[in-house]
Amino acid sequence: MLKAALMSLVLLVVILTADLSSAQDASYAVIDRFPGPDGGYDYISVDSAMGRVFVARSTGVMTIDLATRKVTPDFVAGQGVAAVQIIRGTDLMLSTNRDNKNATLFDRHTGKVKAIIPTGTGPDAVLYDEKTGLAFVMNADSQDVTFVAIAEAAAVATVALGGKPEAAAIDGKGRLYVNIEDTAEIAVVDIESRTVVGRYQLPDCARPTGLAYDAESNLLVSACGNGMAKLIDAAQGSDRGSVDIGKGADGAIFDSARRLVYISCYDGTLSIFNLDRDGRAGAVTRVTTTGGARTSALDPANGRIYLPAAEYKIDADGQRTRVPGTFQVLVVAPSATTP
């Protein structure tokens, strides 16, 4: 009996150790690159089943067929496209047109447009909730969120946020969490009542952008532009610590199957760290990507991360401009992985 108990204890320690150390054990690296046309870029999304990557570009939605490596620059036309969100359980995708105050609902297999849906001003990030059938469009300039009923292909509500929204997360229990960039807080929105019911402060965080959520530990991970990620209790808003990451963070992803957080940063790094099942962060692995690789998307089927990027130069007036011919989508994975 004592021997069995000791064996169980040893097994538990091994499991916990593996849970905390897997990011450090894997040697992540850029394993592939897909070049594309010049132009602006923002959010990215991966459809594992289709084997296709969708990228928000300044003139429309760009696609990459991962099997054939074919790049289609304007699969769906758009105006300053900021985000591309797969509508899980359907053939649809929603993209936001920041220059036109609307979003495009289209068939992601054919590119056929189903509807153009009005939003607030400066529509940026978008998130979909399968439970309610609602998509949430974060309007940066009008500082609100548009609720879009996908089945109706229509905007059904607008909720003021009191600041500039960036990325958002949902907990599956009726709450929408939104990073507010200019006030460094998380706005808590009750989806059913369509009201802001709380505000969580982000101590020492400047310019929060990407936001990820771990349901098991009920933890929010907010990526801050000043080189840290804040760990915030989703129920109470309490501060559960900070993690040092790269500068200029934008994207934040939590991979629940592997229990890894990925935060992509403008400085050309991808920070990766474990979360144990109580929401404690492990050591950070920093992967060198390229400058400007600030947003990212995960393929949960194989754990690969896709990052759109371009090289930048700064002129004598301090203006940052993209270097022509440098746009590409990077693929990051454990370096033992083959393309």
pLDDT value at 338 more than 90 = no
User: Within a 10 A sphere around the Cβ of 49, how many other Cβ atoms?
Assistant: 7
The DSSP H or E segment spanning 186 is: strand 185-190
**pLDDT, tens digit, 9 for 90 and up, residues 206-243:** 999 999 999 999 999 999 999 999 999 999 999 999 99
pLDDT value at 271 more than 80 = yes
270/296 Cα distance (integer angstroms): 9
276/82 Cα distance (integer angstroms): 33
Residue 261: the pLDDT is: 98
Please measure the distance between the N-terminal and C-terminal CA atoms of the chain and give it in whole angstroms. Answer: 49
206 and 336 inside one domain: yes
**pLDDT, tens digit, 9 for 90 and up, residues 6-19:** 444 334 433 344 44
Over residues 62-83, the mean pLDDT reads 97
115 and 28 inside one domain: no
Overall size of the chain counted in residues: 339
Residue 314: the pLDDT is: 83
Domain boundary among 115, 142, 165: 165
Collect all residues with Cβ–Cβ distance below 8 Å to 187 and sequence separation of at least 6: 161, 162, 163, 165, 177, 178, 180, 196, 198, 199
Q: What is the DSSP letter of 207?
A: S
Residue 145: the pLDDT is: 98
Nearest CA-CA partner of 299 in 44, 36, 102: 44
Specify the pTM: 0.91
CB 125 within 8 A of CB 82: yes
225 and 291 inside one domain: yes
Domain boundary among 165, 194, 227: 165
- At 111, which CATH number? 2.130.10.10
Collect all residues with Cβ–Cβ distance below 8 Å to 143 and sequence separation of at least 6: 120, 160, 161, 162, 163, 164, 165
129 and 244 inside one domain: no
Residue 312: the pLDDT is: 87
Q: How many domains does the chain have?
A: 2
34 and 74 inside one domain: no
Over residues 113-130, the mean pLDDT reads 98
Give the tokens for residue 310.
């371009």
Give the tokens for residue 15.
């499991």
- Domain of residue 228 covers 19-39+202-339
290/267 Cα distance (integer angstroms): 7
Would residue 8 count as lying in a domain? no
Would residue 174 count as lying in a domain? no
Would residue 194 count as lying in a domain? no
Residue 335: the pLDDT is: 73
